[in-house]
Structure 1
Amino acid sequence: MGLLSKQNRESNGHSSQTVIAEGTFIEGQLKLTCHIQIDGQVKGNIETDRCVTISAAGSVEGAIRCECLIVNGRFLGKVYSKSLQILEHGYLEGEVSATEFTIEKGGVFLGSSKNIKTEEVVPLESVKKRDKTLPQQSKKDAQQYA
């Protein structure tokens, strides 16, 4: 069965996929209603209700909010996803908020992770509004434990 066969379209309700080709550089915010495969470079935020795949040749720097994220290339930033997979050649550095998080042998994760319930996944705009600067005293307290 082909990727875009009739049976596949009927089962998942979506039949399209956006591909950022190798050698392509995009800077900005991407809002999609389909799967996206990144073989090139993206600097910015990606938001979709489907899956994001970063191939071995691909790289992303920014924030991603999606149903599932598959990393086989390089990602630097924040992830908000139900499912996250770092494959054998994948490299992820940053903050992860996910319900499911797996790392294959050879995959690299540097950063922090938080296990979330599906209903806790929030739009990127909401996250920016919640970020707050620590009071000066809190910074001093934190430094004494570093």
Structure 2
Amino acid sequence: MFGINKNSNTPLVKSQERFDTLIGRQTEIQGTLRVVQSVRIDGKVIGNIEASKENAITVVIGLEGEVQGDVIASRVIVAGKVAGNIDAHERVELMASALVQGDVKYGSIAVEHGARLMGLLLQVDVSKPQVRQDQAQTAITKAKATGKS
């Protein structure tokens, strides 16, 4: 009656997602973490976190969580620290306690007041397929060689 009803389209709604993988506060992982299910990080990961584009994977960095590396997933929610780039194919949510030192690529974004970002915000059009980096580099090299674009 007195509160604001939030629906699933409202930013920063508490997710109903289930996390089968949890990196605890006292845990430190070094190396690339390739995930096939949603994961919550409350500890420290030194290395990249990668999820394939085909799966709707959410990576949550909790209040005590820290990632030193890139995070690539469908959805990324940050309450802790990320020292690396974020590539969220669908959505990024930065909580008030978030500290991100790197560029953020996103389809949609929600940012709470107080979140800190030291990098670029780059919106990608999720309706268009992205050109792969190696395809773009091949086109640039070919254009330089022929003198044509």
- How many residue pairs match? The answer is 116
Gaps of 5+ in 2: 1-15, 138-149
More strand by share: 1
Amino acid at match of 2:70: A
Gaps of 5+ in 1: 1-11, 132-146
- Do residues 116 (structure 1) and 124 (structure 2) align? yes
Identity %: 25
User: Contact 1:55 / 1:73 at 8 angstroms: preserved in 2?
Assistant: yes
- CA 1:120–1:97: 2 relative to 1, 3 Å: farther
- Do residues 27 (structure 1) and 30 (structure 2) align? yes
Q: Which residue of 2 aligns with 1:140?
A: none
TM-score, length basis structure 1: 0.70
TM-score, length basis structure 2: 0.69
The residue matched to 1:23 in structure 2 has which SS? coil
Aligned ranges for residues 1-146 of structure 1 at < 5 Å?
17-48=20-51, 49=55, 50-81=57-88, 82-118=90-126, 119-120=128-129, 127=133
Shift of 1:23: 1.1
Name the CA distance, whole Å, in 2 between partners of 1:21 and 1:128. Answer: 37
- CA 1:104–1:17: 2 relative to 1, 3 Å: same
User: Contact 1:16 / 1:35 at 8 angstroms: preserved in 2?
Assistant: yes
Supply the RMSD in Å over aligned alpha carbons: 2.4
Name the CA distance, whole Å, in 1 between partners of 2:134 and 2:32. Answer: 15
